[in-house]
Amino acid sequence: MTKIKYFIPSILGLNISIIGLIIYIVISKEVVALTCIQILVVPIILLLLQILNMTKKIRIPLVFHYLLLIHLVMALVLGSGMGYYDEFACWDMILHGYFGFVCSVFVFIILLNYGCEKMKPILFFAIIFFVTMGTAGLWEIYEFIMDRLLDGDAQRVQESIAQGYTPVYDTMMDMIIAIAGIVGFYIAVGIDKLYKYKCIKYIYQEIKK
């Protein structure tokens, strides 16, 4: 059962993706192949994470699998498939904020895997900040490249101009909101400290067992 439980997020992701794909096909006036692929990639990413876990070269606690599942469903199934990015102006901001939090947790786990918990706290958390911000920057580069290749507007340049903002408004806001997610992670660690690091001890035990 211990090993099987790590496949539950992938199974959930598969079921959600299938349901999401069916709904997308039914409600869409024009079915886009790329969107279908984005919806179906959710369980694949989760399965790859579990395969990485099984190599035992790096241990990813189960809690992160669920955090990633939530992010993928919000971004790919609801955001892209159900059109939440267009329906709700705040959806993109929410996702970038949550990304900052999830990425911070992932970097935190990687550092624990390699015994970096002995670092000075300020260095430990500085690494989390800069790696997460670097990852957020790489995502913006990805959006820029895809916009050029597919003639899209993932960076919402035209929308920003129409609203009277600078063309880089959306990109800069995405980066700033990612910082808010990192701060949210720091706050979560601070709250956990009040409870004698119960969550961190659980994560550490999952990694080291």
pLDDT score for 52: 86
Residue ranges with strand state E in the chain: none
The radius of gyration computed from the CA coordinates of the chain, to the nearest angstrom, equals 18
Average pLDDT for the chain: 91
Q: How far lies 33's CA from each of 25, 40, 48, in Å?
A: 10, 11, 22
Provide the whole-model pTM. Answer: 0.91
Interval 172-202: pLDDT, tens: 999 999 999 999 999 999 999 999 999 999 9
Q: Identify the three-state secondary structure at position 151.
A: coil
Interval 106-155: pLDDT, tens: 999 999 998 888 889 899 999 999 999 999 999 999 888 988 887 877 78
Q: At what angle do helices 169-194 and 121-150 cross, to 10 degrees?
A: 150
